[in-house]
Amino acid sequence: GQVVMSGREEVALVRPVDGVLTMSLLNYATQIKPLADFVEEVGEGRVSADELKLARTLIQQTSSDEVSLEQYEDTYTQKFKEAIEAKIAGKEVVTAPEEEDVPVVNLMDALRKSLKQGGGRKSSAPRPAAAARRRRKSS
């Protein structure tokens, strides 16, 4: 359905979860870039057997069937509230300097190193980035 939130129309999905109606906001089709637009950017890639094995191992180690949103903190809203309170108190609000360029790292080497350091332990909760991807996919 469609709802109005903060004066703006949004597409929403309402569904029952554990006996409670929940609402998830979705994107309009015009807000999503078609997959065909990425074909030229991605091109054809070849994946070695080692890379495929590494990808499967990473997915297994960082995946979880249950998600606990309590493990994530909304730091943006907290910092925003602090800035508002500082402004009300008459303090000057200063913006953060732009971040410096981060050196490019070989992703495969970094993933292999991460796996070696992790000792092969299975995470009981997903990483914040993985949870964000799941939310975007469900929207």
The DSSP secondary structure of 1-59, one letter per residue, reads -EEEETTEEEEEEEEEETTEEEEEEE--GGGS--GGGGHHHH------HHHHHHHHHHH
pLDDT in tens, 84-134: 999 999 998 877 777 777 777 788 888 888 888 875 545 545 555 555 555
pTM of the model: 0.35
pLDDT in tens, 104-118: 778 888 888 888 887
CA gap 115, 57 in Å, rounded? 9
